[in-house]
Amino acid sequence: MICRTPGEKRSEKLFRSRLRPYLKTKKTRTVPASPKARAENHSEIVVLPVADVTHLFNHDAMLAASHAIEDLAHDTGCGELIATFQRIENFTPQRDRYLQIAGEIDAVRVWAEGEPPGRTPAIDFIPIFHPLLTRYWVVLFESAEVHAVLFCKQANESPHFSRKIFSGFYSFNPFLVRCIRRRFSLLAAGVDGVVAHFERNFGPWMPDQDALADIDALLTPA
């Protein structure tokens, strides 16, 4: 990024304050996605990735960043939260948390493959209609003053969440957050062509499967 606005700095500061408790309780691990950016000594783990830089996240790091953005939405008290859960089963453990958030802000929209759960009238459920979208994990919050997005794509083929690795980034850039949110609105309207635009403009760097072999062992908590 060339420059950062005061609002962007404020959003990041708020995000990091809410991320800190999750880092204390989770075995969050990330490494730079680009091989050129990785330290040769793989014991040097990047605990917290830098904003706007593509990293590989293990599942605990994904949850920590996701929960920090969710807390940011809840505490802001207004705005819109968008979250993709790949499959609806992944949303079930978070149901009460999201109902609480929905009671505090303007809109909560959950994307997932599968039948939406009952008794959740405050949450808008949007079915994932394109198989490519099931590989994405996105948590986005936008309000008048606060902007944040975690944008990742599953890099390996594991069906088990604890073994999944995601390539992506998080950002507090208002323009980027607004652009991604707008494309989700188009997707919700059934504009299938936006999926290809997603891949072309936002799709993170994907390591080949051979390169993931050692990274998989590195990112999985013992």
How does DSSP assign 159-213, residue by residue?
SSGGG--EEEEEE--HHHHHHHHHHHHHHHTT-TTHHHHHHHHTPPP---HHHHH
pLDDT tens per residue across all 222 residues of the chain: 445 677 888 999 999 999 888 876 656 666 666 555 554 443 344 455 567 778 888 888 889 999 999 999 999 999 999 999 988 998 999 999 999 999 999 999 999 999 988 888 899 999 888 888 888 899 999 999 999 999 999 888 888 887 888 888 899 999 999 999 988 888 887 677 777 777 777 777 777 766 666 665 655 554
Q: What is the pLDDT of residue 86?
A: 87
Q: Which residues pair with 87 in a beta bridge?
A: 113
Domains and CATH numbers, the chain: 52-219 (3.30.870.10)
Q: Name every residue whose Cβ is closer than 8 Å to that of residue 126 and which is 6 or more positions away in sequence.
A: 109, 110, 111, 187, 188
Enter the tokens of residue 140.
């986005």
Q: What is the pLDDT of residue 81?
A: 97
Q: What is the pLDDT of residue 49?
A: 59
> How crowded is residue 165: how many other Cβ atoms within 10 Å of its Cβ?
26
